[in-house]
Amino acid sequence: MIKQILIRLSKKRLFMPILCLCIVLLLNVIKTPDFFYVTIKGGVFYGYVIDVINRASELVILAIGMTLCVGSSAGTDISVGSIMAVAAAVCCAILAGGQVSVTEYQNPYFIAVLAALGVGIICGAFNGFLVAHLKIQPMVATLILFTAGRGIAQLITNGQITYVRVNEYKLLGANIPGVPLPTSVFVVVFVILVAQLVLKKTSLGMYIEAVGINAKASRLVGLKSTAIIFSTYVACGLCAGIAGLIMSSRIYSADANNIGLLMELDAILSVALGGNNLGGGKFSITGSIIGAYTIQALTTTLYAMGVSADQIPVFKSFVVVIIVSLQSEVVIAWFNNFKINRNFTTPASKLIIKGVQNEN
């Protein structure tokens, strides 16, 4: 009975992503016994688990947008890290009013946030136009902003790090007074709820999967595939803008060189670890979210084990290769064939074996 339940569970889409996350957490139980230990200091939660949940916020938001792009266009948006830097630069530049460092807002915070999110949407629309309307391969199309985005951010900040040393500006990346959980966690929950409501309660999720499977066939049945692909890149740009605001708030500045640096790679890995097909079509937002937390848990685990920041990418890449390989169709097919060959106990096989024994 238990074996049958495990077999059924292993066929679920989210089985491997959850299993990989559990393996990483199990490693923490063995190597870092206090990994799950949570304390309260000054009314705020502290601990490795809280750090994973908090630090993964930007990656989770990026993974949601990346999943939509992969599902609709069978391509990835490699410019999200640069878009994060541009959004942060716009926000800080407006709040600082052209100054390098300020201790009070020079312009309303609400306007700065709207401008940053608007820039994220514009960048996403630019990528979407190249991919959906001009039919440029997604990685090539988004390579433009990947290369130029940080230069644009540098132009906005005049090549300097713009500091906004205002306590209220730090709240998005820290904690609201009286609330023990980080503010970014609530932002992530809000983004997830909006994404799930839009995809599950409307037909958009099904349309994205249909276009990703076959865009030409989708057009023949009346779907506007160009508009659907375009909208997913706009959504991805918006997600990058939100992530940029959170990361900027953590360091209360706009650092065009480092904000979002190489995060596009982790976002793509999150989608892959979530069991999503990078060739487009059916996708799982939940799987990508689990993949994002797996990557952050792995990073935090390595730090907890005393691995230096320079060595973490090596260990991280090694583990990711193993996890991705376990989810590949070739490995799964080999494993299934191995089970069939070892378990030669079907009714038909028993008759064949019995016949051979009788002849002997």
Decide if 349 is inside a domain. Answer: no
Decide if 320 is inside a domain. Answer: no
Residue 360's pLDDT is what? 46
- CA 135: distance to chain centroid? 25
Q: Provide the CATH number for the domain around residue 51.
A: 1.10.3470
CA distance 253 to 268: 26
Residues 6+ apart with CB under 8 A from 149: 79, 81, 82, 83, 85, 86, 123
Averaged pLDDT of the chain: 87
Backbone angles phi, psi at 177, to 5 degrees: -50, 130
Looking at the structure of the chain, the number of domains it has is 1
pLDDT, tens digit, 9 for 90 and up, residues 190-234: 999 999 999 988 999 999 999 999 888 888 888 899 999 999 999
Residue 349: pLDDT over 60: no
**Do residues 292 and 270 make contact, with C-beta atoms less than 8 angstroms apart?**
yes
Q: Could you tell me the pLDDT band of residue 333, with boundaries at 50, 70 and 90? A: confident
Q: Which of 132-136, 163-167, 262-266, 314-318 is least confident? A: 314-318
Residue 169's pLDDT is what? 94
Residue 173 Cα distances to 64, 127, 227, 272, 292, angstroms:
19, 28, 34, 27, 18
Helices (H), the chain: 2-10, 15-31, 48-55, 57-73, 80-96, 109-128, 138-156, 183-201, 204-213, 215-220, 225-251, 263-273, 285-304, 312-326, 329-342, 347-359
* Percent of the chain clearing pLDDT 70 (strictly above): 89
Per the structure block, which two tokens stand in for 24?
């990483």
Per the structure block, which two tokens stand in for 316?
């991280």
Q: Could you tell me the pLDDT band of residue 289, with boundaries at 50, 70 and 90? A: very high
Task: Read off the pLDDT of each residue in 120-147 and give the average, rounded to a whole number.
Answer: 96
Decide if 89 is inside a domain. Answer: yes
Decide if 105 is inside a domain. Answer: yes
Q: Which residues of 309-326 are buried (b: 16+ CB within 10 A; e: fewer)?
A: eeebeeebeebbeebeee
Indicate if the alpha-carbon torsion angle 102, 103, 108, 114 is positive or negative.
positive
Whole-structure pTM value: 0.89
Give the residue numbers spanning the domain of 213.
2-307
Decide if 355 is inside a domain. Answer: no
Decide if 331 is inside a domain. Answer: no
Q: Which of 157-171, 260-274, 301-315 is least confident? A: 301-315
Decide if 348 is inside a domain. Answer: no
Q: Which residue has the higher pLDDT, 300 or 270?
A: 270
CA distance 278 to 35: 33
How many other CB atoms are there within 10 angstroms of residue 179's CB atom? Answer: 14
Task: Read off the pLDDT of each residue in 137-158 and give the average, rounded to a whole number.
Answer: 95
Per the structure block, which two tokens stand in for 7?
């077999």
Decide if 351 is inside a domain. Answer: no
User: Residue 45: left (phi > 0), alpha (psi -120 to 50), or beta?
Assistant: beta
pLDDT, tens digit, 9 for 90 and up, residues 1-39: 666 666 676 667 787 788 888 888 888 778 778 888 899
Q: Which residue has the higher pLDDT, 29 or 167?
A: 167
* Percent of the chain clearing pLDDT 90 (strictly above): 59
Per the structure block, which two tokens stand in for 171?
């709240």
